Structure 1
């Protein structure tokens, strides 16, 4: 007798496995990268008030779950916002200001450190291309070195983002324009493409607005919304059905049941 799975067509099986998170566009789970040498500075004060918001659009970083272990990335690392949400493990090296026996820390990219063309790349223009540089929230820097150092050499590597719960979507826009901020992304942490599907529509491709926000110019009110996302680093694809109910509202945040890993 045929098994239950044999009763379905191959294409339907693929769709079922995608829904279950078992097919990821031929890509593997995110793996840490090799260690590299870079430098880190800090901005803001101990309250981290100046690090809230930022070029990724996560808003209040306490409310959105990122806290103060965050970093603004130099131009080459930020990659026009495609690095938003990516996670980096780092440690202070080769400096007398490194804290003794300090453990490594892991920070999330939430902001951009813009270039300063009026200063030399190696003397104040730390975020100028082609430097790979991290401007940390001060509480994060405090875990690595004494702040009197100003700038420190670090070893760093990309690591998997360990998140609790599913991907979150904050809605903004108007009846003809849906703007979605994507947060709490696990695995590689980054997103390069996104699609939305209403109860009465096919999949609609969304374009990047800025940072970690994506937009669709469609009338989607009164429909339950599903999302499909693709990771920039791994090409993994995840489909999240019925993330938001038919009576969804702008200004609200909705959480899916699944995440990248």
Structure 2
């Protein structure tokens, strides 16, 4: 009886091992066929996207955030981008940040938008806020120095003071598209402009928010676009050394997506330094 059980057990083990080995051979063969066959249905998901800085929720990064200026204010009441008092008015409404040199990029980062979520303090609400880069924090090793209003907006409503007192918190952030519903791109003529030197501050660009190139076309019949240079921050200039003929059309090209927007004849004849002119429409 014992001999039968032992013999039967050995036969069962032999069958089991053989059956398993057969399954392994079938699996290996099938895998070889799958890997060697090019199929339009088999497309591995890309792990890295290099065509856009805009991130999904899964692509957020970590840094630290501090705050500066009045506790409910707009930081420096202007900043290194040249937006001036506009940072405290709609549509920006003081929701701004100074960026470290890495974020500011010598002015190229002006106008870009980031979604920031406070994670490093029990007073954090966990709700993200969106800010516009309008200033430079030259001494910052962390990425964001928020306005008082933007920093406070990350707190649980009953614990705003606690978060402000902390002064510096861990955050998660991601680059997002700027969105100014119903607001056209705006051109503010620099106070130093004259008939031979023309400079403008460019505001409220939907989408990328930042600009790679700005070009100016003189008069009504010209087809010649002249490249403007970044003077500083969001201020662009054309120092022609000869009289400029208005009206001016302005052509904008974004850094990241390469989108182009043309504001035809947006600066009229008789323009004056300090005036504000609005395009018809925006990138989005």
TM range (shorter): 0.7 to 0.9
In structure 2, the partner of 1:5 is none
Runs (5+) with no aligned partner, structure 2:
1-50, 156-162
In structure 1, the partner of 2:164 is 147
Structure number with greater Rg is 2
Aligned to 1:139, the other structure's residue is in SS state helix
In structure 2, the partner of 1:138 is 148
49-58 vs 215-224, which deviates more? Answer: 215-224
Instruction: From 213, 217, 239, give the equivalent of 2:235.
Output: 213
Contact 2:54 / 2:176 at 8 angstroms: preserved in 1?
A: yes
Runs (5+) with no aligned partner, structure 1:
1-27, 116-126
In structure 2, the partner of 1:104 is 128
Offset from partner CA, 1:73-114 (integer Å, 9 cap, x none): 001111001010001111111322323xx4211000000001
Contact 2:201 / 2:235 at 8 angstroms: preserved in 1?
A: yes
Instruction: Tell whether 2:80 aligns with 1:55.
Output: yes
In structure 2, the partner of 1:82 is 108
* RMSD (CA atoms): 2.0
Q: CA deviation at 1:140?
A: 0.8
TM normalised by structure 1 equals 0.77
Q: Which has the higher contact order (CA 8 A, sep 6+)?
A: 1
Contact 1:58 / 1:64 at 8 angstroms: preserved in 2?
A: no
Instruction: Tell whether 2:92 aligns with 1:66.
Output: yes
Instruction: Spell out the pairing of 1:1-261 with structure 2 (5 A cutoff).
Output: 31-32=54-55, 34-48=59-73, 50-60=75-85, 61-63=87-89, 65-99=91-125, 102-115=126-139, 127-128=140-141, 131=142, 133-145=143-155, 146-163=163-180, 164-172=182-190, 173-199=193-219, 201=222, 202-218=224-240, 219=242, 221=244, 223-261=246-284
Following TM superposition, where does structure 1 have runs of at least 4 consecutive aligned residues deviating by more than 6 angstroms? none
